[in-house]
Amino acid sequence: GDSVTQMEGPVTLSEEAFLTINCTYTATGYPSLFWYVQYPGEGLQLLLKATKADDKGSNKGFEATYRKETTSFHLEKGSVQVSDSAVYFCALRGNQGGKLIFGQGTELSVKP
């Protein structure tokens, strides 16, 4: 079945550091890919999405490119802030009746 694998956390960075969170997937067909963010004590917020190969999703300085050849959707940000501290989930929506398949989540902590 479809699956998503994320790099394990927690990830700790200093403010203004470069961020990469790796995400790879296994799916049949052409899934849509998403990054969700969950701040402490809150629900999930959609951060960005891509629906076909080579699409780049971007929002709030975060970017991710849908790479079909490497089945990856890595999340990047050039300069993180303390307010980016959260748990980040990579997810795909494939052909399984609209279900979202989540990765395990990566906790990011940004120190001043």
Residues that bind another protein (CB under 8 A): 32, 34, 36, 42-46, 49, 51, 87, 89, 93, 97-100, 102-105, 107
Q: Give the residue with the Cβ less far from another protein, 71 or 105.
A: 105
The smaller minimum CB distance to another protein, of residues 16 and 51, is found at: 51
**Residue 59, CA distances (Å) to 3, 63, 64, 68, 85 in order:** 24, 7, 9, 21, 16
Residue 111 near residue 13 (C-beta atoms within 8 A): yes
Radius of gyration of the chain (CA): 13
- The partner residues of 76 in beta bridges, in order of sequence, read 20, 63
Question: How near is the Cβ of 46 to another protein at its closest, in Å?
Answer: 5
Nearest to another protein of 53, 79 (CB atom):
53
